[in-house]
């Protein structure tokens, strides 16, 4: 349902969609059923020629089942929803992948995103890191950890095609993960009102194949770092 409006581009996007659709359909079916019964009763027991409209207080024992049965059904469906939500939440937020391939740094501030990508050495926080503003460059089918920080106020890192949203909190480094699965260019949004320029901090994520990402790395590695690496590998 949701993928008709918004592509899925991470390994867990499908799980979020299943959960979302599940909640949607459970609520939709019961909403339509409850409204149907309501309108049927309004019509069935309306005032007619010589018959007064029926007034039910709901206090009689025989009517109480109309309250208690739906009540128990709601509890049963709640258990399904909560169990599904815990499973998905645990996989996405409570656990980190055991063997992530790369780590990227994400720094939010009023009102821009800074992304720090590991260079050719695959390590973050080294001389060949590539820093960009408002563009995140990722490789398809690669598991990333992200280190999310904020320099000033609360922000929220949201990549709709990943079905990922994570608040950035000043003074904390929040580590999470994603595995992009679809090449292309997609939106990144800040989803926490963070001041007057909140609407001015959209960014883009570029997901490329390994070959194309390699190309991007070569073109964007800072000149000094590139020379230093070349010197180190050809003494």
In the complex, which residues of this chain contact Cu ion (CB under 5 A)?
A: 155, 190, 194
Instruction: Supply the minimum distance, in Å, between the C-beta of residue 155 and Cu ion.
Output: 4
Write out the E strands in 37-173: 102-109, 112-117, 130-133, 135-139, 144-150, 155-159, 164-168
Radius of gyration of the chain (CA): 26
143 within 8 A of 97, measured Cβ to Cβ:
yes
Which is closer to Cu ion, CB of 51 or CB of 196? 196
The residue behind tokens 């149907």 is 36
Which is closer to Cu ion, CB of 23 or CB of 112? 112
CA 184 to centroid of chain Cα atoms = 18
113 within 8 A of 150, measured Cβ to Cβ:
no
Instruction: Supply the minimum distance, in Å, between the C-beta of residue 201 and Cu ion.
Output: 5
Instruction: Supply the minimum distance, in Å, between the C-beta of residue 182 and Cu ion.
Output: 25
Instruction: Supply the minimum distance, in Å, between the C-beta of residue 108 and Cu ion.
Output: 6
Element (H, E) at 60: none
Looking at the DSSP assignment, which residues form a beta bridge with residue 104? Answer: 146
Which is closer to Cu ion, CB of 104 or CB of 194? 194
Which is closer to Cu ion, CB of 118 or CB of 160? 160
Distance CA 168, CA 158 (A): 10
Which is closer to Cu ion, CB of 97 or CB of 199? 199
Instruction: Supply the minimum distance, in Å, between the C-beta of residue 199 and Cu ion.
Output: 9
């Amino acid at each position: 349902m949701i993928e008709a409006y918004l592509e899925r581009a991470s390994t867990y996007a499908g799980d979020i969609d299943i959960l979302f659709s599940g909640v949607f359909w459970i609520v939709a079916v019961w909403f339509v059923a409850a409204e149907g019964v309501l309108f049927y009763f309004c019509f069935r027991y309306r005032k007619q020629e010589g018959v007064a409209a029926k007034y039910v207080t709901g206090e009689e024992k025989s009517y109480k089942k109309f309250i208690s049965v739906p009540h128990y059904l709601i509890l049963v469906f709640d258990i399904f929803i909560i169990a599904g939500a815990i499973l998905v939440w645990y996989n996405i937020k409570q656990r980190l992948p055991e063997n992530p391939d790369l780590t990227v740094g994400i720094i939010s501030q009023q009102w821009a995103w800074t992304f720090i990508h590991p260079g050719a050495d695959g390590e973050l926080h080294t001389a060949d890191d590539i820093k960009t503003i408002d563009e995140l460059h990722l490789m398809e089918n690669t598991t990333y950890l992200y280190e999310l920080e904020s320099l000033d106020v609360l922000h929220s890192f949201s990549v709709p095609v990943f079905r990922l949203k994570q608040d950035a909190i000043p003074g904390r480094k929040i580590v999470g993960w994603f595995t992009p699965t679809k090449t292309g260019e997609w939106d990144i949004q800040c989803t926490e009102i963070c001041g007057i320029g909140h609407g001015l901090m959209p960014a883009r994520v570029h997901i490329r194949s390994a070959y194309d990402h390699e190309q991007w790395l070569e073109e964007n590695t800072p000149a000094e770092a590139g020379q230093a690496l070349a010197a180190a590998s050809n003494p």
